Amino acid sequence: MPFVQLAIALIVLGILYSRMIRRETPDMIGKTQAVVPVILGAASVVLSFLLFLGIGFALDKAGFSTKQLPAFIRSVTAAFISAGLPEEITKFLMILLTLLIFRRRIRNVYEYILIGAAVGFGFTLLEEFFYGSDAGLTAIARLITVASHMVFGIIMARHLGLAKYNRIKGSGSVAGEYALALLVPILLHTLYDAGTATNAFMNSGNEDEELIGIVIALAVTVALFILQIAVLVRLKKNAEKYCGMVFSHSEEEKSAV
């Protein structure tokens, strides 16, 4: 069991999440609203695995195979099927469920973002429990990308919050924000896994292709590390603005999203 990786994830993400909560103005969310989406995020790991099995079964029945595809396309397709689609879809559903549960309490776009971060936090903890590693390059990669699910959740929930805010104010894109809420995290997650977990170049048996695979893996890992920092720094700078994007209570009762 990857105790070290799990402990690091709990400490790092716990600190990040608690600091995010304290930045909300004028009042912070309550403990229940802070904890429930973390629990739902953890539950989405199981749900995503079941969805992955369902997708795999359906594709197998349809006779779909990636064996004849070029290595890059094979890597991307496998990443989309195994992680990008099922994991982001289930996190999306858990964010929506949280919004439904707390529909009368959620006051602004920042609270949407907190929910996305919390779902990503919970997902990471259970994923590390099941799939984490305490040794080797895999452990290092997971360590420096430990906030990835939280960041994907932040991106997803931010677009959902902006969609609702735009709908209430009658300005800006609504459908576009909803589309971005799903498409951006799925794309980012798929590209990262295509370069790491499902990288077809890595085990090709050809030295040149394996070298290409290593370079790709390093590149996407560094890129995701930088993305994490950029998103978290930007969120810190804009926390007050998102807190100020307030929903009216009447609209809040009508719809969670």
Written as tens digits, the pLDDT of the chain (257 aa) is 567 788 889 999 999 999 999 999 999 999 999 999 999 999 999 999 999 999 999 999 999 988 889 999 999 999 999 999 999 999 999 999 999 999 999 999 999 999 999 999 999 999 988 776 655 666 677 789 999 999 999 999 999 999 999 999 988 899 999 999 999 999 999 999 999 999 999 877 888 899 999 999 999 999 999 999 999 999 999 999 999 999 975 444 444 45
Residue with tokens 């349809």: 62
Give the total number of structural domains in the chain: 1
d(CA 105, CA 114): 13
Domain with 7 in it: 3-254
d(CA 70, CA 118): 37
Query: Is the preceding peptide bond at 185 cis, omega within 30 degrees of 0?
Result: no
- The answer for residues whose C-beta is within 8 angstroms of residue 58's C-beta and 6 or more apart is none
**Cβ neighbours, 10 Å, residue 176:** 13
Q: How far does Cα 193 stand from its chain's mean position? A: 13
